[in-house]
Each structure stands twice: as C-alpha cells, then as structure tokens.
Amino acid sequence: MKHRIKPRYEREGGNYDYFNRNDFAQNLTRLLSNTEDSLVLTINGDWGEGKTTFIKEWEAQLRINDDFIPIYYDAFQNDFTSDTFISIAVTIQKVLEKHFDEEKKKETSDYKEAAVNLGTELAKMSASTAIRVSTGGVLAADSLMEWITGKYKENKEQKEKAIERSSKELVDSKFDAYFEKADLIQEFHNKLKALLENRDNNKKIVFFVDELDRCRPSFAIEVLEKIKHLFDIDHVNFVLAINREQLVEIITNAYGVNAEDAYVYLQKFVHIETNLPKFKELRGSDDEGNIQLFIADLLDLFVIPEHVRHEKLLSEMIKALLPKTNLTPRSLERILTLYTISLSSNPDKGKKLSKEILFLSILKIEMPKLYRRVKKNGRFRKNPSSLDINLGTGFIKIFTNENYFDQNRLKNSANNMIDIPTLVEAAKIVDIYDLPKEKEGKSKDTNESQGYF
C-alpha cells in the first residue's frame, strides 16, 4: 500500500472532471475572451477543495487556445524575495520568451529592459525612503556609512539645519522620482502591449496567482498592490486562487482593522469574485456516480488490497457525511492516508478490524471531537435527534447492514444506545497516528453537539 499520492494535476490521466468544474472553467474562459479590459478575478475555495488542481487544469486548457498565454505563479514559492514586481515581471518574461521564441525577440528584449529600468527605480526609491525614515529624515543613502562609522557628528544647530535641508531634498527627490517613475511605468506598459500585439488579434495573458493566502502578510499585500498599480494593462488578466477568509485575516492582522474593513480593502484590488464549486455540493445521481469513481480511483492510487478495500462501504459513509460536514477532496485523501498507515502498522488486526479502522479514520479526520468520544466506548444512539437525522441514520443503517458489519459485534445497551466494542479495539491502532495539521477555512465538528455518540 501507499501512504502518500501525488497531487491530481501531476498524475498521468488525472484530469477527469469528477466535480463538474469544466463548465465553470469554460464560463470563465468565455468571460476573458469577451473582454478587452484588464480584469482581476478571484476564485475562492476552502483549504483542500482543489483550487490548485482547478487552475492547473484550466491553465492546461488555455495553453492549447490560440487566444491566450497562461502563466502560473506560485506566490508562496516566491515569498523569499522582497521585490514582488521583479518576481512577477520575470515570471511573465520567461513564459513570453518561450511562447514567442524568435518571432518577437526584439519586443521581448525591450520588455525586459523596461522591466529592469522600472524595477531598479522602484528598488532605489524603497531603499532611500527606508533609510530616511529610519534616521528621522536626516540621512540619505550615501550618508548611511558615515552615520554607521561615527563620522556623522554635528552639533544640535547643524543637525536641525540638516533635518530642514534633508526634508526639502526628500520632497524634491520624491517629486522628481514620481515623474520619472510615471514615465517608466508607461514605458513598461507600452513594451508589454507591443509584445502581445498580433496582426490578427491581440494575445491575452492570464496570470494565475496561487497560494497567496500562505504568504507573509507583507508579501501577499504587495502582490495585490503591484498587480493593481503596475500591471493594469489591457489584455493582461489576473486570476487569484484564494481562501478569502484567510486573506481577509492576513489584511486584518497587517493593518489592525476589523474583518469588514479588511474585506472592503481587498475589494479595491478585485473586479470579479467567484467561488469554486464545492465537493460537498454534489447531489444528483450523476454526481453520486462521480463520487464513487473518485473514491475508486483514490483506492487504486493508494494500492489498497481487495480484502480491505471496502469501496462500497466507503462510498456509503462519504455520502452520509457530505450533507453535514465540510468534507473536501483533500480530507478524503487524508482519511485514506490514515487508514493505510493504520493497516500497514498492524496487518493482522488491521485485516480483522479494517471496517472499524476505516470508520474511525473518517471520524478522526473529519470529526475529531466525536472520534475522541466514540473511541472510549464504541457507542452511539439508535435514534438520533432531528438535527442530525441525515448523518445519524446514515451511519446507523451502515452499521446495522449485515453486508457491511457482522451483527454479532453489535450490542444493544440501555438508553437507546448501540455498543460496538470492536471500535474501541480498532481505536488503539488508529489512535497511534496523527497527520500534520493544515489550515482550514472552517473548523471541523459541525455536528459536535448533535449527540448521536
């Protein structure tokens, strides 16, 4: 058995549309095809919902479309740099060089030169401003070494004059720099436009920004600001795959504002907001077929042997969970990771208790508080309350189905409860292992108070 699998977009033949998201991608493609503006749109989704997989697969579709030049940018991988403009500009340049090859060699070279000139000026301004701010406006960059070595010694009157003189120089230099920067920005825009121009039609860049909500707050905000102020160019579109709740929290912490104000601030950078269709929203008969196919493919990828595969049982459990939990494709992969680890660590007991281990793996990943409760006594209610009727009765039907569980393992107890002692035994295996915590949009255990365990 395997305990780790590759992301879906890296798997050979892993582009089947399990979650009916192709229509969503086609709608977005038509939107970008029919606009002449520069758009920034967000695709919001919870952790583990498949945002990276979606934009990677959409990027692949655009790559064979003559109207578009798709570019993928992993913001988290570029988080090491302090210059967001250069990191974005270089990412664009690399793709355009490969796309046009010798066809537009001069235009590509001109674009690079314009980007370097603008990037240099932005870096100079940032360094000069930082030094002046940190020294109270007394020092320019070329005076810093004198200050550090102690040679910069003036009496009080000289310092006051220096501050006055430096303040005037700072305003003058900013005034001049503003006009120079404005010219460089326009030159940069013109060179990128020239590169995209075509005799028949203009190529459109679709620049995908991924993992933005995992970045340092300062870097994430700078990416938004640079996109807004330096890349607002016709035919250059940005698609941000985000967890909106997480990004709002970043802005909240960075600026010390409440969530509502942070969301208003975020909207200043975005023209259109969209939501990735959720795994848990799959409801129809076709959707159920896709869920079963997705589960079957995952079981194959984890190389789970037939005698502990329990494909139908797992499908029934997942269908019972979907209406009531925040189950995502990633969390289902984590369930199978925990399941295969538990089986591998104790093959003999794992074979005997595989169904119980599968059930407990689901609980531990999706409903950890309920897992901690049920592992103590293996008990749950026969007749759940109306609040959890779907989930409760779904699991009860599974446990009382002789096709899944040996009915001799079930024991009726007082107070309308059913005991399954083998769950306690299986929990001794599952309890050994914990998977690393990962960020989530919403907390688990939405059914914690519903009392069917």
The candidate with the shortest Cα–Cα distance to 434, out of 341, 353, 345, is 341
The answer, yes or no, to whether residue 172 has pLDDT greater than 50, is: yes
Can you tell me whether residue 272 is helix, strand or coil? strand
Per-residue pLDDT at 208 = 98
Cβ count near 316 (within 10 Å): 19
Give the Cα separation of 181 and 322 in Å (integer).
Answer: 53
Length of the chain: 453
Chain CA centroid to CA 413, Å: 46
Sheet containing 411-413: which strands, arranged edge to edge?
Answer: 379-381, 417-419, 411-413
18: Cβ contacts below 8 Å, ≥ 6 apart: 290, 291, 293, 294, 329
Give the Cα separation of 207 and 192 in Å (integer).
Answer: 14
Give the Cα separation of 56 and 9 in Å (integer).
Answer: 7
Per-residue pLDDT at 408 = 62
Please say whether the beta carbons of 354 and 74 come within 8 A. Answer: no
Of the candidate ranges 4-13, 112-121, 302-311, the one whose mean pLDDT is the lowest: 4-13
Cβ count near 272 (within 10 Å): 13
Of the candidate ranges 8-22, 39-53, 329-343, the one whose mean pLDDT is the lowest: 8-22
The candidate with the shortest Cα–Cα distance to 232, out of 181, 262, 188, 168, is 188
Residues 41-66 have pLDDT tens digits of: 999 999 889 999 999 999 999 999 98
Please say whether the beta carbons of 228 and 258 come within 8 A. Answer: no
Sheet containing 68-74: which strands, arranged edge to edge?
Answer: 68-74, 204-210, 236-242, 40-44, 272-275
The number of CA neighbours under 13 Å toward the Cβ of 110 is 14
Statement: the pTM of the whole predicted model exceeds 0.85 = no
Please say whether the beta carbons of 37 and 234 come within 8 A. Answer: yes
Q: Per-domain residue ranges for the chain?
A: 21-140+177-275, 281-448
Please say whether the beta carbons of 43 and 240 come within 8 A. Answer: yes
How large is the average pLDDT for residues 157-177?
A: 57
The candidate with the shortest Cα–Cα distance to 235, out of 436, 39, 445, 6, is 39
Give the Cα separation of 396 and 382 in Å (integer).
Answer: 7
- Is CATH 3.40.50.300 correct for 21-140+177-275? yes
Helices (H) and strands (E) in the chain, counts: 17, 8
Quickly state the pLDDT bin for 200 (edges 50, 70, 90).
low
Q: Tokens for 316?
A: 């029934």
Answer with the residue of higher pLDDT: 255 or 388. Answer: 255
Answer with the residue of higher pLDDT: 203 or 191. Answer: 191
Per-residue pLDDT at 448 = 42
% of the chain at pLDDT higher than 70: 73
The answer, yes or no, to whether residue 279 has pLDDT greater than 60, is: yes
Per-residue pLDDT at 204 = 92
Give the Cα separation of 360 and 373 in Å (integer).
Answer: 11
Please say whether the beta carbons of 158 and 138 come within 8 A. Answer: no
How large is the average pLDDT for residues 86-92?
A: 94
Per-residue pLDDT at 344 = 96
Cβ count near 341 (within 10 Å): 19
